Structure 1
């Protein structure tokens, strides 16, 4: 009898022995966590001298500003580091229902408060980063080194595959060395030189999409008095075309409030106390002004500018440099007032971990395709919010006007319908897809609520006022 033919065995995926991560921010640390499951050794290279305790650092200029860990980001970090949220809360972070324990002002309308089950965490960026770094540093096969600068990748003679990186310690007289690696992940942030490196190696630069946001924001911290805000943990004012001003107040560690004031397209928050108070008084609700009037300042105001959101389309490249990935803000950076950066970075790390578990072959093409899908939602939300402003520079689609008119009515309706409010916040926190806002039942709710709202400008105490001239 003839022997039964057996299928040829599937070759084992090529294992990665040593991975290098450029940057020890949230994106780099979460990527290192993902790599640690399948790589024999992971080295994270950081330009800064990393502090031993939570502290702002030069390499993360936004670290002194207000940060919030969105509900989806909280779940992602707890998936990467089981027990992380309990540790963060134990370190002093606030934990609150994003609809039940907060005020949200959309187009000047106060979202109807109700328990939502959407839990967000208030903590400074240094605390979040410190907690993540401690968990990554404890991994037996991960090493965080620096301060050192990565000068570029080293490749095979045909420039098709990465074999390491050129590194120079940030010390006087330090010499350049080569660190061998078969996988390099660039998580160096918005200043990433990856497009230039690829071009130098004969590869194409990725195309980029840019949306000018022209954001200026000022952050200051105050001692938290539980009597303020009626005990609520936060409040947020989202800018809109009639009032390109916004802000937020958020409870964080050390019993303090972080307050941020934002402006777009020529509106710029002042940094003196009287000016900040006048600016807060021009917002649709009293929350931020209440804190500024009554709370004790704990530090000096800090200002930052963010010109534009940028998305690099590595997924569109016809040819990839094998063994070279880009993640975090180096892949896609968003208007920071939407608070999506840490969440998007953690989601990309989860994508990377899943792909590595399937095998290392053709990793760049697979990763950039999957990472592109992961950033689609935050990019749609951030770019769509910015493009509501006529001054914003970016590509608009043929149905954007119709969609914007519907969402304007939706925001007003959310002030009287808690279900609409919950869905809007679930989308903003990246727990539900944006398409959920257009579900037939929600469209019907928006139409039914039309007679109970005051139009696209707020009613009564929620009506937005004309901006006051700050001193």
Structure 2
């Protein structure tokens, strides 16, 4: 890639920031990653409080990560990551249906968030021109002549003076705490259009070691469903451990943080034989809890007059309900979109990036919001399209419990390999709408197809 600028600054060193830094390396002579934490952490970081919980990199994200950092899968495996065949080693119960399984071509690389982030950080940090500037708070943007020219930071030390870091490009990857929308308002660019779905999800995780003969497999996932707004995921990771995460809508379904309450909650979700294995497991750590208030999507692509030299990525741009495990994969999609935009040169980069990434976000956002709105407890407007889509997805999940072909296509969609519209192919629709084997009614299939938005809206 040819160089299009001298210096780019990335704000935040989580997965989104690291992936963006990788995309920028080579396009800019220097890339500085500014972070609050001080250096690489061997365990979970304060800047990533959700790092203690189970994380899954979806198949699409895994492919992009390997493309951006060739050999990273082998490095993760060498560091202890677990290799799984989702078709044989994973057990998914979604919408109350345990999906059919058979061995497939995809493989899953399972690791804790600290291991995954640590390996990626080491690879990115070894790239020419990339450096980390830790122990700094970002307090504002530097601007001039209608563009962003850098950032102002304050070292996290007593009595430290503010510093200015000049840059051709600034990327906000500071997560939900990102301040770009507020800085833009202060600069007179008006409010950033925003979508929000208040889900009020709480989750709790405990690391355990299962008995060798547990038979629980390498991942057990039980998703929430109408009437039971709670779920669990138990994922095998490095160190002969499983991360057991439970989640529920805040209030009556909020996961308890005490030993007895935690297990009682798990009992309501886990298959009986899996729960027996959990009871016999060795406890490896305390219960860690976290809360997630709402899905958020900031529509920078709808704004006019945005200053050049400023981009936003990760949760600072779009934040998803963690129950669906989309976050890290969406960060990969955004980094991939940025890389394509950089190939076209610096002219119009800000506008081009936000438009490109908005298209990449449409499908995962639509799927997450529709799934959230299938829960009566979640506030939000349920359009006829959403109601019809959720009804159809329920039919697909039921068909996927008995038909491996439907299950494989469903997994490709939730793994972000294929768009949701592929579930409306006649071969899938016939098995979802007419489980008895009778011919599918064309009018019904056409209504379902018409309900799938082509522009990411509802």
TM-score by length of 2: 0.92
Shift of 1:273: 2.6
1:275 aligns with 2:264: no
Q: Provide Cα deviations, 1:258-288, integer angstroms capped at 9, x if missing partner.
A: 1011112530122223222221221262365
Contact 2:210 2:278 in 1 (8 A): no
Shift of 1:244: 1.1
Q: Provide Cα deviations, 1:353-394, integer angstroms capped at 9, x if missing partner.
A: 111111010111000011111111211121111010122123
1:254 aligns with 2:242: no
Aligned pair partner of 2:406 in 407, 414, 420: 420
Q: How many angstroms apart in 2 are the aligned matches of 1:303 and 1:265? A: 12
Q: How many angstroms apart in 1 are the aligned matches of 2:163 and 2:117? A: 28
1:300-319 equivalent positions in 2, closer than 5 A? 300-319=286-305
Secondary structure of 1:318's partner?
coil
Q: How many angstroms apart in 2 are the aligned matches of 1:399 and 1:350? A: 30
Q: How many angstroms apart in 1 are the aligned matches of 2:4 and 2:224? A: 48
Contact 1:14 1:360 in 2 (8 A): no
1:357-396 equivalent positions in 2, closer than 5 A? 357-396=343-382
Relative distance call for 1:100 and 1:14 in structure 2 (3 A) is closer
Q: How many angstroms apart in 2 are the aligned matches of 1:42 and 1:287? A: 50
Relative distance call for 1:268 and 1:52 in structure 2 (3 A) is closer
Secondary structure of 2:108's partner?
strand
Q: How many angstroms apart in 2 are the aligned matches of 1:401 and 1:224? A: 40
1:97-112 equivalent positions in 2, closer than 5 A? 97-112=85-100
1:167-182 equivalent positions in 2, closer than 5 A? 167-182=153-168
1:37 aligns with 2:26: yes
Q: How many angstroms apart in 1 are the aligned matches of 2:333 and 2:214? A: 35
Equivalent residue for 1:151? 139
Equivalent residue for 2:9? 20
1:287-366 equivalent positions in 2, closer than 5 A? 288-366=274-352
Quick one: higher RCO (CA 8 Å, sep 6+), 1 or 2? 1
Aligned pair partner of 2:213 in 214, 227, 231: 227
Contact 2:257 2:288 in 1 (8 A): yes
Contact 2:236 2:242 in 1 (8 A): yes
Equivalent residue for 2:70? 82
Secondary structure of 1:215's partner?
strand
Contact 1:70 1:429 in 2 (8 A): yes
Q: Provide Cα deviations, 1:273-319, integer angstroms capped at 9, x if missing partner.
A: 32222212212623652332111000001111111110000010011
Aligned pair partner of 2:39 in 44, 50, 61: 50
1:129 aligns with 2:114: no
Secondary structure of 2:122's partner?
helix
TM-score by length of 1: 0.89
User: Larger deviation: 280-289 or 263-272?
Assistant: 280-289
Equivalent residue for 1:462? none
Contact 2:201 2:293 in 1 (8 A): yes
Q: Provide Cα deviations, 1:162-186, integer angstroms capped at 9, x if missing partner.
A: 1111111111111012111110000
Q: How many angstroms apart in 2 are the aligned matches of 1:91 and 1:141? A: 26
Q: How many angstroms apart in 1 are the aligned matches of 2:364 and 2:87? A: 20
Q: Paired residues, what number?
A: 436
Contact 1:417 1:449 in 2 (8 A): no
Aligned pair partner of 2:102 in 109, 114, 132: 114
Q: How many angstroms apart in 2 are the aligned matches of 1:235 and 1:416? A: 18
Q: How many angstroms apart in 1 are the aligned matches of 2:310 and 2:35? A: 18
Aligned pair partner of 1:92 in 80, 92, 95: 80
Relative distance call for 1:56 and 1:321 in structure 2 (3 A) is same
Equivalent residue for 1:5? none
Structure 2's unaligned 5+ residue stretches are: 439-458
Shift of 1:189: 0.3
Relative distance call for 1:287 and 1:302 in structure 2 (3 A) is farther
1:264 aligns with 2:249: yes
Secondary structure of 1:68's partner?
coil
Equivalent residue for 2:51? 63
Secondary structure of 1:105's partner?
strand
Contact 1:222 1:297 in 2 (8 A): yes
User: Larger deviation: 351-360 or 308-317?
Assistant: 351-360
CA-atom RMSD in angstroms: 1.7
Q: How many angstroms apart in 2 are the aligned matches of 1:116 and 1:309? A: 32
Structure 1's unaligned 5+ residue stretches are: 1-12, 453-471
Q: How many angstroms apart in 1 are the aligned matches of 2:387 and 2:437? A: 23
Q: How many angstroms apart in 2 are the aligned matches of 1:36 and 1:14? A: 9
Contact 1:20 1:183 in 2 (8 A): yes
1:434 aligns with 2:423: no
1:393-404 equivalent positions in 2, closer than 5 A? 393-404=379-390
Larger radius of gyration: 1
Question: Once superposed, which parts of structure 1, at least 4 consecutive aligned residues long, lie more than 3 Å away?
Answer: none
